[in-house]
Amino acid sequence: MLFIAVVAALAIAAPALAAISIRVTTTVVHVGGKLRGRSNGERFRVYLIEAKLAPCHNGCAARAKHPPGSPFVFVGRIPGRYGRYTFHRFAFRVPAVRPGQYSVFVYCPPCGSLIDSGEAIRVLR
């Protein structure tokens, strides 16, 4: 019985290895400065949203049938081609947003999810 439970747990965990992720390496950035990080969501859109308005926190995924609109702010697309899912570094210019705490999300069209980076960033003027 234990063997079956272990095999089942491994089978469930295997798809997570192919999951889309995003990590930011910039935790404090000025408006107009560069938000840097890496992601395997090739050509997927990256957004900022004020942390208090974020649909979820700490690396979660929220359902989204379409790319989000306001209050999400589009900052760029992950480099690469759709479907390869190798990690790429990115550097996006932070648009004119209010100073404060923000969450960073990547929109995954195939899975219909907004995926939180799990890291809060602070935007300064």
The β-bridge partners of 113 are 63, 108
β-pairing, 61-63 with 113-124? antiparallel
Residue 15's CB is within 10 A of a number of other CB atoms, namely 8
Global pTM reads 0.82
Look up residue 59 and give its two tokens: 């690396």
CATH fold for domain 21-124: Immunoglobulin-like (2.60.40)
What pLDDT sits at residue 5? Answer: 40
What pLDDT sits at residue 59? Answer: 86
CA 66-107-44 angle, to 5 degrees, is: 110
**From first to last of its 125 residues, what are the pLDDT tens digits of the chain?**
544 443 333 333 334 335 889 999 999 999 999 999 999 999 999 999 999 999 998 889 999 999 999 999 999 999 987 667 789 999 999 999 999 999 999 999 988 999 999 999 999 99
